[in-house]
Each structure stands twice: as C-alpha cells, then as structure tokens.
Structure 1
Amino acid sequence: MTDLREAFCFFLRRGLGDMPQTREPEHVLTREEWNELFRMASVQAVSGVFIDGVASVSLRPDRDLWEQWIAHLFYLEQINERIACREEKWVGRLAEADIRVQVFKGSSVAAWYPYPLHRSFGDIDLVVEEGWQKLEEWLHGQGVPFRNEWGDLVVHEEGLTTVEFHPHREYLYNPVMNVRLQDWLKEGSSNELYLVCLIVHLRRHFLTYGIGLKQVCDVTMMLRRAHLNQSKLAYMLERLRLKRFSRFLFGFIDTYLGGANSYPFVPLFSDKDFALMREVIFHEGCLLKQVQEEKGSKERFPFVRTGRHAWFWMRRSLRLGGMMPDEVCWFLLHQVMRRVGF
C-alpha cells in the first residue's frame, strides 16, 4: 500500500504541474494496481488530476483501461462546462434583481489548475454579497423551490447540479475570530483573503468529518500560482489563529503534492499532529461522513442517535484539539446549540 500511495502521489504531483525531473515509479504496475490507483483518485475526488499526471509520463495502463480514463476526462469536461454555464446564468439573473453574488470554489478556484475543466465538479456555491434579504422573495417569485439548511438556501435543479446560496463566504466557530473575518470580507476581496477562506473551509470540514485531497489541491494551486503577498497572508492566518493548522497543511502539501515556491510560515513535518493530518486526509476524507450517516440511519430511537452523535463529536474534538484548541471548544458549543434549536 505504501508503494501504491507513493505512485498515487507521484501522479498527482505531475497532474498539478510538478517539475518534469521528478522520478517515475520504479516498478511496473499491474492492471489491478492501476484500478486501485484510479479508485483512490475517485474517492478523493481528484480523478482528473490523476489522469493528467499519468498522461504526462511514459507509464500507462493497458489500452482498454486508458481509453476508459480518457472517456472519463471528456465527461468531466462536459459537466464542468455545463456547470460554468449555469453559474453564469445564475449570476446574471440575480444581477437583474439587484442581488450581487460571487462564485466560491468551483470554477473560480479551478482557474488556477493547469487544466481547469479536469477538476472534479461539485455543487455550485454562490456567495450573496448584496441583497440577501431579497433572495427568498425572488426565488418564490421565480417559482424556484428551495429549502433552508442551517442558514443557507439550497436549490436542487432537476437533472442539473445543486445550487447553494451562502450569506457569507466562510465563517469560524470562534465568534471573535468570525467577526474579524467578516469585517475583512466586507472590505473587499483579494487572492490572500480567498486562500484564507479556502483554509478556513478546509479546517472546518477537517474538524467535522474530515477533508479530501481535492480541497488540499485547491490550496496547493493557489500557493503556486496566485501571486500571493506572503506577509499579508501570514498576517491574516495568524490573526485568525490558523497558523498551527496551516503549518501542518503546508507540510502535507510539501511532502505529498510537490510543495510551493514559498509559504507564509515554515511547514511542519515531524509533530504527531502531522501524522494525524495525514491519517485524516488519506483515510477519512470522503468516507467518514457516509459511515456516520449510515450508522445514524440504523438507529430507531432519536435519543440514541443524538447520544451517538454527541459521543462521536466529543471524541473527535479531543483527537483534533491539538491543531485548533480554541476552535474545537466553540465547535462543540455550536453543535450543542444546533441540537437544542438555537
């Protein structure tokens, strides 16, 4: 498995635009190993980047498998083009109603990739910068069904993707830090602030059910290509108490994804929390939520399900508290308040 992980990360580095002198895996891969590598890429939602990496070297699976992967790339391109068109239509329609929105993640972060259409697609995330108070009325007037999910408005377009409307680009559980972040967002946007929001998003999901390589690749590409002011980025991350988590994240990027030319902080590699980050990304990222939801669906009694959730969050918070101690405390309070209806 270690050899396969090394091969997997090699192809990811190449797909992300790693330098051509990187050494190829030394042993010839069997068809079963190629299938396992593609499964790993699919689970982590980086299949397009992985195939780009394979395409950049002489190693190849057999012709039948390779043709299947090329067809998968064409599928990614078609869906991403369709989603980009939907994003433009939503932005335009809302602008006519004096509701100003911006695309977050999705095509806006894919633009930093060598092949933007090969980034795995997801929901359309629209951040409402002006006119949030008019959005529900406008959706009703347009006959668009939606539901409120913990303060976000969610639209399921039949046969298309899900559209999520957010009142804020990102948020922190710590209320003092969150006020600071929202103040910065009101002042305007920058590449540094966008990347900070990506890291906030990544850390929040890391704390709940884990995070996959797709979001880590997003951070990697911005570190490499977004022409960042590292001093400004360091200031923002430190002011939001993201420094420790970011240093482990940068260490992971440097070790497994080819790194970047510069970082706002020196990456950390040797702490036990680095091993924990590696464990969460490689083994929990896109699977833990599904496992927990399946367990919850089997519980007949709501109070048992609630107790199981509480025990899960407490254990997870204790496990991850070393990376983000203050955020963990506020996260637990947030979970309690949600469950009691606040």
Structure 2
Amino acid sequence: MANRERIYTVFFNLLRSGLWSRPVEASESFPLSSAEWKDIYDLALAQTVEGLVFSGIERLDMEHLPPTDIWMKWLVRVTKIEQHNKLMNQCLAEQIGVFNDLDVNPILLKGQGIAQQYEAPLRRLAGDIDWYFSTKEDYEKVNNWVIEKDVPVKYMPGRSMCYSYRGLEIDHHSNLIDLYNPFVKPFLSDFIATERVYDRFIKVDGADCRILSPVLNIVQVVSHVLKHLLSFGLGLRQLCDVARLYAVHCNAIQDRGLEQVYKRLGIGKWVVLLHDLLVRYLGLEPRFLPYQEGMAVNADWMMEDILRVGNFGFFDERYSDAETGNRKNAFVRVSKNLLKYGRYAPMESVFFPLVQTYTRVLNK
C-alpha cells in the first residue's frame, strides 16, 4: 500500500462522511493518484464498508473524484449491494409470512434491522439473515419446516442451523448473546428477560418484523463484535453498526445502566477500548456514548489489527491463502487474539475456546 498513513487518513475521512452524512474532512489530502484510489477501494472492500465510503466520495468536488475506471467499478458494486439488500428485504417479508403461518415469533438479529439505523440503509453491506427463537419448541418447529421443504441444510457448531433460502444464507439461533463465561449466565438470563419486554417492531418490505429493544440490541451486537475479535477478527462494518446504534438510540439508552451491565458481563474494560475507536476513528460524538469513562485509553493497537485482518480475518496477508478466504494457521491466529484480549475480557478469553472446542466435539 503506497503511503499507508495518507491512505488511512483519506479512507477514514470518507468513511466518517458516509456514516454520518457530513462533508469530507481534510480536503488538503486530495487529489489522489490512481494507485492511491485503488488502495482505498481495496481497503473498503476488505472492511466491507464500500457503500459507506462511496457515499463519502459522492460529496467530493469533481476534481477530487477517483479515475473513471475505479469510479464505475465502485458504482457497479454499490448498485449490486443495493439490489441485494432489496432482495434480502423481500426474503425477510416472505419468511415472516411463513413464521406467522407456523405461529412462531422470532427476533431478527443484526443485519437488516441494524441497516434501518443508517441514513442510507441499502448501502450497508448485508451478511446473513439471523433469526432468534426464544423457545425450544419454536426453534424445532421452524427447523422441521425447513427440513420438510428439502432445503439444503448445514448445521453449525452450537445451537444454530444454517441453510439457503432464495440464494441467501439464513441462520436460526436458539442462543441470543455471544458470551461464553458460565458465571455470568444467571445475570444475563435476568437481563434478557427484563429487556425482552421492550421488543420493538420495524417494517421490512411491508411486513412487521420484531427486533430487540435498543439496550439489548446493543449488548447483542457488542458481544458479537468481541466474539469475532477473539477468533479471526472482523471488519469495520460491525463497528459502524455499534456507532449507529449508539447515535440513533442515545436517548433510549442513557441512564439505563449499560456501564454496569458491561461490567457484570465481564467485558467492561474491553468496551472502553471499543468506545475509543468509535469516537476517534469513526467520528461518533462522545455525547452519544451511553456513559463517559473515567480513564484515558488508546486502542490504536486494536484498530491496527482490524485494518490488517479485514472482514472476519479473510484478508490477513501474514497467513497463506488469505485472498482465497481460507483460514490458515487457525490455532496460532486464535491463540494470539485470546492472549491480546485476555487482559480486557479475561473470562471470555478463557471460556470462548473451551466452549467452542466442546461444541465441535459434541456435534461430530
């Protein structure tokens, strides 16, 4: 990457512009060379934020825009993201109809529910469609329906089912929060039960879709971010999700005791690092944080890791075949992450590999 510091400066300026719909900062960094624009394009793809960065580019003066070939390639990609999101919304609405016929009421996790917290929802790159079923009966009823329809099914480690529906990957979950420390389970169960009273509904392609309360939604997404950092890593899209949730729901989460919730869950020290990245790199206004930490931190090392490994660790050049999506040297990579984050989320760093190993053995 040519002139790495300059590339990162422009990249984050464009990302913040797209994330918050505001003018691009540091105009003195422009114009860029064709090679520099290619580096920014590749970085946006690796971090799965190409739609947001493109929104920032659209706010540039004409003389600062990328070369025509890169601009057109980027435009085509963003158009496909928008089309894919529309297909996902149609699929969600169809599935809600099926669930209603089966008399089950799942919760939509992450994904399209969080996308609605963005100013341009269709430009958030979509992943899977994740449904959470709060009872064993509902979970098994819907899974049986999938099997009866002869849908290609892939069971994953843990209490989840994965299958393809209209060419999209759908996950069914019977576990809501990605935390593995058994000692926090009683508190977590009580917390979930209390917050589920405040479930909300959003419209997705005309259908009423149930989502979590703002507080529970944030804890679910934050814990999911930590889970991936403890394994192979993740891209900036997931951090953008947390930033948007904080900003949009700031009034609903203030004075709701999130600081104590994070501490009780054993992730309070790590969340302080996360907040540092959200403010300094993603441009989240500190007033949108659910609470103000009393200690100064610098989480640059965590951002360096995120930028190095890319989305779910698939772009880490330190390991062979990263470009093919293969996760080589899994034991070494995960072990290093567990050691790094052990200081900030010690119990999760201990129990995450134990539970993952036990689950894989159990499902063989």
Give the TM-score range, shorter chain: 0.7 to 0.9
Q: How does 1:157-306 map onto structure 2 within 5 Å?
A: 157=165, 160-187=167-194, 188=196, 189=199, 190-227=213-250, 228-232=252-256, 233-260=258-285, 261-266=287-292, 271=297, 274-286=299-311, 288-289=313-314
1:104 Cα deviation (Å)? Answer: 1.1
Deviations 1:146-194 (A, max 9, x none): 2321221111236x11111111232311012234323333341420110
Equivalent position SS for 1:56: coil
Q: When the two structures are superposed, what TM-score results if normalisation uses the length of structure 1?
A: 0.88
Deviations 1:10-39 (A, max 9, x none): 000000115438432434101111111011
Equivalent residues of 1:211, 1:280 under 8 A apart: no
Q: Which amino acid aligns with 2:10?
A: A
Q: Percent identity?
A: 24
1:105 Cα deviation (Å)? Answer: 1.2
Instruction: Find the counterpart in structure 2 of residue 65 from structure 1.
Output: 70
Match for residue 356 of structure 2 among 316, 335, 341: 335
Partners of 1:179 and 1:314 in 2: how far apart?
28
- 2:158 is the counterpart of 1:153: no
Kindly tell me: are residues 106 and 309 of structure 1, through their superposed partners in 2, closer, same or farther at Cα, counting changes over 3 Å?
closer
Q: How does 1:306-321 map onto structure 2 within 5 Å?
A: 309-321=330-342
Partners of 1:61 and 1:196 in 2: how far apart?
38
Equivalent position SS for 1:222: helix
1:238 Cα deviation (Å)? Answer: 2.5
Q: Please, which runs of 5 or more residues in structure 2 have no aligned partner?
A: 200-212
Equivalent residues of 1:247, 1:268 under 8 A apart: no
Instruction: Find the counterpart in structure 2 of residue 89 from structure 1.
Output: 94
Equivalent residues of 1:251, 1:267 under 8 A apart: no
1:74 Cα deviation (Å)? Answer: 1.6
Partners of 1:321 and 1:29 in 2: how far apart?
40
- 2:129 is the counterpart of 1:124: yes
Q: Which amino acid aligns with 1:43?
A: A
Q: Which amino acid aligns with 1:4?
A: I
Q: How does 1:42-121 map onto structure 2 within 5 Å?
A: 42-58=45-61, 59-121=64-126
Kindly tell me: are residues 339 and 143 of structure 1, through their superposed partners in 2, closer, same or farther at Cα, counting changes over 3 Å?
closer
Equivalent position SS for 1:162: strand
Kindly tell me: are residues 284 and 118 of structure 1, through their superposed partners in 2, closer, same or farther at Cα, counting changes over 3 Å?
same
1:71 Cα deviation (Å)? Answer: 2.3
1:289 Cα deviation (Å)? Answer: 4.9
Count of aligned pairs? 331
Equivalent residues of 1:206, 1:280 under 8 A apart: no
Deviations 1:52-91 (A, max 9, x none): 0111221311234323322222211111000111011112
Equivalent residues of 1:105, 1:125 under 8 A apart: yes
Q: When the two structures are superposed, what TM-score results if normalisation uses the length of structure 2?
A: 0.83
Equivalent residues of 2:218, 2:242 under 8 A apart: yes
Of stretches 148-157 and 244-253 in structure 1, the one that deviates more from structure 2 is 148-157
